[in-house]
A and B are shown apart, each in its own frame.
Chain A
Amino acid sequence: MKEYYLGIDVGSVSTNLVVIDEACEVHYSAYIRTNGQPLDSVKKGIREMKNSLPSDIKIKGVGSTGSGRQLIGVMVGADVIKNEITAHATATAHVVPDVRTIFEIGGQDSKIIIIENQMVVDFAMNTVCAAGTGSFLDHQSERLGIPIEEFGAMALTANRDVRIAGRCTVFAESDMIAKQQFGFSKAEIIKGLCEALVRNYINNLGRGKRLEPPFVFQGGVAANIGIKTAFEKEINHEVIIPKHHNIMGAIGSAILAKEYIEESGAKTNFRGFEAADLDFEPSTFECGGCSNNCEIIKVEMDKRVVAMWGDRCGKWTNL
């Protein structure tokens, strides 16, 4: 019987599940749209996983990451609940051991992570501005009527360069419309958009940081060849895209779970594949104890309260 580790990354756009073995090789992976339903998407993911894996499989440890890490961690019984920056860096350092700079662009946020000797020495995360994230591209692809999957390849067919203002999505959009009226083709506009996104990303997140190769580009947007090319043009260096670029967070959390279990010798808290069938119900209520009126998240399992958070004063969390 082989031993495996499970990693779950619950993001705003996608929920990813990964099963790795002792050598950190990926044995199973799933990429599911979250659709605003983190619990359901994880349950669905676990059921699918159970059906596609051999029945005698043993999960020795579980890690969760992403914005829904806490909720999902409680639900599945995760051994390690880690932030996505550490999770991403862990996975990348495993795949590309000498990595120095990680570009990660997801649906709602983007990150840059600077690594020296396999250690995170600096990072930045953008959540304020949409102009440097995948949702910007998603929006523009809809506007141009080009499916996002074809976006990147189309950018490569452009003959001319168009400069589109990338500081803000609103400026970019009006600039794009103006450039369309100047007679630039769709492909050229798309290339301009890719370059605008990369410029915005480097200006916002790379500010004050020394960017050294090797560069690794990951996250959902790494599937877009147009962005990869724009990155290579901007920093004038080759950019590596790992094979599992869109599930690196989940891989990282599985590796972290493995390290934790190996170091501590602990037994996993994993509730088993049955976690998918548990009567697990999060609910929210307004505290009303003071004028903050905090929204408290209460998680119940089989009618028993297993966790609460969201309060600013600790009245419920510390219960």
Chain B
Amino acid sequence: MKVSFPYMGTTVVYKKLLELLGHDVIMPPKPSQRTINLGVKYSPEFACFPLKVIMGSYFEAIEKGAEVIITSGGHGPCRAGFYEQVHQRILKEEGLPAKFMVFNSMFRDFNNFYDNIITLKGKNSWLKVSRSLLLVYNMTKKLDKLEKQVQTIRAYEVKKGETTRAWEKIQDLFDRAYTKKELEGAYAEGKKLLDDIKLIEVPEEKKLRIGIVGEIYVVMESSINMKMEELLGNLGAEVERSQYLSQWITYNAIPSFINKTHETEILEKGGRYLPIQIGGHAKQTIGHIVDYSERGFDGVVHLMPFGCLPELVSQSIVPKITEELGIPVLTLAIDEQMGTANNTTRIEAFIDLIKGKRAKKIS
């Protein structure tokens, strides 16, 4: 069957898994102005930005021939839990009846999860399925490892844009790897690409480290967050994201009572300021800000879709954290507006603030 999925972050991974299981994968195009225009046109005006962009991605995927859309569900009081319902209804109204396959946490509704797995499995043997899963999981881990290197060295590259270009090449290399051996090869080649990039020597005490936190879609998808990682990197700051795919997978695949992943630790840290789960990624956002502060980061950029309720709650907790822990946090609301001048001003001023804090003067 011809399957597609929402475009978010390093999509080569989802594509790979489905391909290994013998499905015909229709890649949704990277979100562009056209995607946004389509999404905004067909979504409810009050819906949050990720819903609109993903809506646009579905239209584009169906245009390219997708019949089945695979997506994750949601739970808790965040609107994201209704996404697939709203998307399905809109597509139906527009006469594009795509089939949806929604993955919810297997610990909540195992039967539904199992049914989905069986459909995806098709005629493959269980051995093949587990091998594919393992390969893709390893691929995610390796990609995340390289991406972390990209996020560090981009701040010091001699030739602007070189790291980003290498990163695009790396994703392409991984896209062409279908076996364990090819994966190892792609990793080695990718690592070499990054190691060969010429860097400016910056003394340790002058390095800036900034964490990016917030709602998962606007944090992970660079095409709609003004390429925040590149922007900060070009201003000379190393970045780390609150979400990486491999972490997300590990956290969601392990039952809670034995779950000792990084995410569990983050949620504990978040619990100091926000004792309950209020939906979305609010508690993680808070937890990550605390975590970055404890790990000695210089600042945090907090991204949220305009009007996102969980993140509005976390935004209102931020002043208290800043006061107690002293870590500067800049909150930016992301929406369809593509003019970047205002936000560039904010980011530049934020970097000045951080540098000023060290030098004990304004600039």
Contacts and interface: CB of A to CB of B under 8 A. Distances in A.
B119 interface: no
B348 A86 contact: yes
B353 A256 contact: no
A230 to B, nearest CB: 25
A292 interface: yes
A67 interface: yes
Nearest to A115: B362
Interface string A244-268: 0000000000001001000000000
A127 B342 contact: yes
B124 interface: no
A109 interface: yes
A120 B32 contact: no
Interface string A80-91: 001111100110
Interface in A276-319: 290-293, 312, 314, 317-318
A266 B348 CA distance: 23
A54 interface: no
A292 B344 CA distance: 19
Contacts of B32: 290-292
Interface in A125-146: 125, 127
Chain A interface: which size bin?
20 to 34
Among B29, B341, B345, B362, find the residue whose CB has the most chain A CB atoms closer than 10 A.
B362
B362 A125 contact: no
B75 interface: no
A314 B230 CA distance: 10
Contacts of B189: none
A83 B352 contact: yes
Interface residues of B, number: 31
Nearest to B359: A119
Interface in B1-58: 29, 32-35
Nearest to B35: A291
B362 A86 contact: yes
B363 A256 contact: yes
Among A84, A290, A292, A317, find the residue whose CB has the most chain B CB atoms closer than 10 A.
A292
A160 interface: no
Contacts of A208: 316, 318-319
A127 B32 CA distance: 24
Interface in A194-245: 208-209
A293 B34 CA distance: 9
A119 to B, nearest CB: 5
A82 B348 contact: yes
Contacts of B341: 67
Interface string B274-314: 00000000000000000000000000000000000000000
A121 B357 contact: yes
Contact of A85 (B164, B328, B349, B361): B349
Contact of B161 (A84, A256, A318): A318
A117 B359 CA distance: 12
A118 B362 contact: yes
A224 B286 CA distance: 41
A256 B352 CA distance: 12
B227 interface: yes
Nearest to B318: A208
Contacts of A119: 353, 356-357, 360-362
Given A118-B362, A119-B362, A121-B357, A291 B345 contact: no
A105 interface: no
Given A93-B362, A314-B164, A121 B328 contact: yes
A121 B328 CA distance: 8
B169 interface: no
A37 to B, nearest CB: 17
11 contacts: A84-B345, A85-B345, A85-B352, A86-B349, A86-B352, A119-B353, A121-B328, A125-B342, A127-B342, A208-B316, A259-B363
Interface of A: 67, 82-86, 89-90, 93, 109, 117-123, 125, 127, 208-209, 256, 259, 290-293, 312, 314, 317-318
> Which 8 A-B pairs have CB atoms at the shortest separation, nearest pair first?
A85-B349, A208-B319, A83-B348, A291-B32, A318-B161, A291-B34, A83-B345, A86-B352
